[in-house]
Chain A
Amino acid sequence: MIEVGFRLARPGGFALECGFAVPASGVTALFGRSGAGKTTIIQAVAGVVRPDAGRIAVAGEVFFDSARGIDLPIEARRVGYVFQEARLFPHLKVEGNLRYGERRCRAAERRIGFEAVVELLGIGHLLARRPHTLSGGERQRVAIGRALLAQPRLLLMDEPLAALDEARKAEILPYLERLRDEMGLPILYVSHSLDEVLRLADTLVALSEGRQVAAGPVAQVMSRPEMLPVLGRFDLGTLLDCEVVRHDAAYGLSTLAFAGGELRVPQVGRAVGGKVRARVRARDVALALAKPEGVSVTNLLPAVVEAVRALEGPYADIALRVGEGQLAAMVTRESVARLGLRPGLAVWAMVKSVAVEGSRPEIFAPGLDHGA
């Protein structure tokens, strides 16, 4: 487990309080708007920032414990840290950068090999170059390789894609996925990009203004109403781990199976049997008391209302049980009153196929079948 629980206050009013225990495997995303305290958390894990009080432990080893007076120095924590701006050493060539941490690690502890990392990140042709001659994407790949070769037991990534343009992001994301799937190294990943989180993370810790809002498996956490301040009304929704059942080439649609049934969505770029994650925004789910007839909506799912929660303004959040799965819907409070929505009521959930794709095709990210 990665156990992080501490509080910290800075002159100037910034305060942070968090407490979570997540599996020491797979990707845990620290997600929130800028200023939420995400970076401060990984800085505390790395030992760059010292909390006022609390405890930080990774896989049984205590990094920090204010009660017992433990505060391991940065270099003794053995965490790889990938910074937003790469921070390559300008006086060393790419190879020198890559080997910097490797050299400072006992040979017996070297599990991650130089060749493997170079191959994984596709940086073999850059070894003799100086950092300032690299593109932003190349720099970030070298920085990731350098962190990996220091043989860390945990990798910390602080918005590694934030400083890159869309093309560079698209260039690096596949490498991050390979890293996640092939290295078996737990990763704490700081991001304010929902797309990145959905694509990479297994576990989510959501933060808002120095407070931890939610923590848990991504799919569970995403639909919780507590996520509203983090996601905003637009993005609140449910994440469904799905399997591709079939493709319908004539109409350009795919059928996905999830715990609650099947969804017909715009065609996904995965073969039948492949895993994808589909995100259904709560605002894109409509409810009906009887099975609607003659509507264009493709996906009609029988559901049971589990909870009704009034949100700010005219909105209400409805938690639905769909078969074995869950779905969140957002309707107006007026609709709640008109339909008499209450826990236990059987309804039909309507999800437009088009809405599942939304405006961003990348919501169909590879499902995560490792580490679980």
Chain B
Amino acid sequence: MLTPEEWTAVALSLRVAFWATFWSLPFAVLTAFVLARARFPGRSLLDGLVYLPLVLPKVVVGYLLLLTLGGRGLIGQYLDAWFGIKLIFTTAGATVAAAVVSFPLTVNAIRLALEAVDRGLETAARTLGASKLDVFFSVTLPLMLPGILSGALLAIASALGEFGATITFVSNVEGQTRTIPLAIYSATHMPDGDAMALRLTLVSVVLALGSLLLASLVDRRIRVMIGRG
């Protein structure tokens, strides 16, 4: 059905999307919490920074990543010198690009879920002897779970479609950074690439639809579980 080359692109896409979401999720929860609850000078600036990748051209995001995390970048040079981490032309780099681009969507979904949590329940938990941290893990987090999961699935779906930042930051290397969108882009430049582009397009549609269906299914199950059904 799919050629080995296409399978590689599909598997790579799934891997990149999964790990990008996996690593960004804790940061997204933390950021959402700070944005929704904390009051401090510079909050609006942080708010803006978090949503910046959503509105900037993705090529700009990729280029900024190159400037900061590239081999000679501000941070990138130390990553390489101290930890031996190379992001350029690697799957790790593609993962970073996907994570940065999907971050605002994830934060937003989680933030909405957090704002929907009844603060009164948190107060009730504290009167029952729970510390603030305890309340977060025993009450707030479980109640945010549907939001976190839908945020995660949204992140996976958007990471699967990431193109601009990836190709600018880590280029288009087969087996390393050539995810489905990049493979389709390459195929359209090949003389006989039409069939390949079409097959990968179909895969894209199936994956996107699948993650949306999964999102609504999981959401419904969790809502029943936590009594919001």
When the two chains form the complex, which single residue of A74, A85, A105, A130 contacts B126, counting CB atoms closer than 8 Å? A74
B55 close to A (CB within 8 Å): no
Chain B proximity of A331: nearest CB distance (Å): 48
A75 touches B124 (CB 8 A): no
Task: Say whether, besides A90-B226, A91-B143, A91-B226, A81 and B125 are in contact (CB < 8 Å).
Answer: no
CB contact between B120 and one of A46, A83, A105 (< 8 Å): that residue: A83
Give the contacts of A62-98 with B (CB-CB under 8 A). 73-75, 77-81, 83, 85, 87, 89-91
Residues on A with beta carbons closer than 8 Å to the beta carbon of B138: 100
Task: Convert A237-259 into 0s and 1s, putting 1 for each residue whose CB lies closer than 8 angstroms to a CB of B.
Answer: 00000000000000000000000
A370 CB-CB contact with B under 8 Å? no
- On chain A, the residues within 8 Å of B3 by CB distance are none
Does B121 belong to the interface (CB within 8 Å)? yes
Cα-based distance from A73 to B131 in the complex (angstroms): 9
Taking the closest CB of chain B, its distance from the CB of A103, in whole angstroms, is: 9
A85 vs B124: C-alpha distance when bound (angstroms): 11
> Are A101 and B129 in contact, with the CB atoms below 8 A?
yes
Query: Is A146 interfacial (CB 8 A cutoff)?
Result: yes
Name the B residues within 8 Å of A81 (CB-CB).
123-124, 127
A301 to B121, CA, bound (A): 54
For A96, the closest partner residue in chain B by CB is B138
Q: How far is the CA of A132 from the CA of B223 in the complex (A)?
A: 12
Contact B120 A91, beta carbon cutoff 8 Å: no
- Kindly list chain B residues whose C-beta atoms are within 8 Å of the C-beta of A79: 127
Confirm or deny: B227 has a beta carbon within 8 angstroms of a beta carbon on chain A.
yes
Q: Which of A73, A75, A130 contacts B227 (CB 8 A)?
A: A130
| B130 adjacent to A91 (CB under 8 Å) | no
Residue on A with the closest CB to B224? A130
Judge whether A150 and B127 touch: CB under 8 Å: yes
Greatest chain B CB density within 10 A among A78, A85, A91, A101 is at A91
A309 CB–B CB distance under 8 Å: no
Give the size category of A's interface with B.
20 to 34
Chain A residues whose CB sits within 8 angstroms of the CB of B131 once the complex forms: 73, 75
CB distance from B137 to the nearest CB of A (A): 12
CB contacts (< 8 Å) of A91 on chain B: these are: 139, 142-143, 145, 225-227
Q: Which of B121, B124, B227, B229 has the most CB of A within 10 A?
A: B124
Whether the Cβ atoms of B127 and A85 lie closer than 8 Å is no
Residues 102-144 of B at the A interface (beta carbon under 8 Å): 118, 120-121, 123-131, 134, 138-139, 142-143
In Å, the complex CA distance between A80 and B139 comes to: 18
For residue A276, CB closer than 8 A to chain B, the reply is: no
User: B39 interface residue, CB < 8 Å from A?
Assistant: no
Distance (whole angstroms) from the CB of B157 to the closest CB of chain A: 26
- Shortest C-beta distance, A132 to chain B (Å), equals 4
Q: Find chain B residues with CB under 8 A from A137 CB.
A: none
Does residue A147 face the partner (Cβ distance < 8 Å to B)?
A: yes
Query: Which chain A residues lie closer than 8 Å to B126 at the CB level?
Result: 73-75
A131 at the interface (CB under 8 A from B): yes
The yes or no answer to A48 lying at the interface (CB within 8 A) is: yes
Given A81-B124, A83-B124, A75:B226 Cβ within 8 A: no
- Does chain B have a CB within 8 A of A291? no
Indicate whether A80 sits within 8 Å of B127 (C-beta atoms), given known contacts A90-B227, A90-B228. Answer: yes
Q: Most B CB atoms within 10 A — which of A78, A89, A104?
A: A89
CB under 8 Å from chain B, chain A span 82-133: 83, 85, 87, 89-91, 100-101, 104-105, 130-132
Report the bound CA distance from A177 to B143 in whole Å.
Answer: 34
CB distance from A105 to the nearest CB of B (A): 6
User: Nearest chain B CB to A31's CB is how many angstroms away?
Assistant: 22
The answer to whether A78 and B226 touch across the interface, beta carbons within 8 angstroms, is no
Chain A residues closer than 8 Å to B118, beta-carbon distance:
87
Which chain B residues (20-71) contact chain A, with CB distance < 8 Å? Answer: none
Contacts of B120 in A (CB 8 A): 83, 85, 87
User: CB distance B124 to A104 under 8 Å?
Assistant: no
Instruction: Say how far A47's CB is from chain B's closest CB, in angstroms.
Output: 8
Give the docked Cα–Cα distance between A136 and B98 (Å). Answer: 48
Could you tell me which B residues sit within 8 Å of A by CB distance?
Answer: 118, 120-121, 123-131, 134, 138-139, 142-143, 145, 225-229
- List 29 interface pairs A-B (beta carbons < 8 Å), by A numbering: A48-B127, A73-B126, A73-B131, A74-B123, A75-B129, A75-B130, A77-B127, A80-B127, A81-B124, A87-B120, A87-B123, A87-B124, A89-B124, A89-B125, A89-B139, A90-B226, A90-B227, A91-B139, A91-B142, A91-B225, A100-B125, A101-B128, A104-B128, A104-B129, A104-B130, A131-B227, A132-B228, A146-B128, A150-B127
Given contacts A81-B124, A101-B129, 16 further A-B contacts (CB under 8 A): A73-B126, A75-B126, A75-B131, A77-B127, A78-B129, A80-B128, A81-B123, A83-B120, A89-B139, A91-B225, A100-B125, A101-B128, A105-B129, A130-B227, A147-B127, A147-B128
Closest 5 CB pairs between A and B?
A101-B128, A90-B227, A91-B226, A104-B129, A81-B127
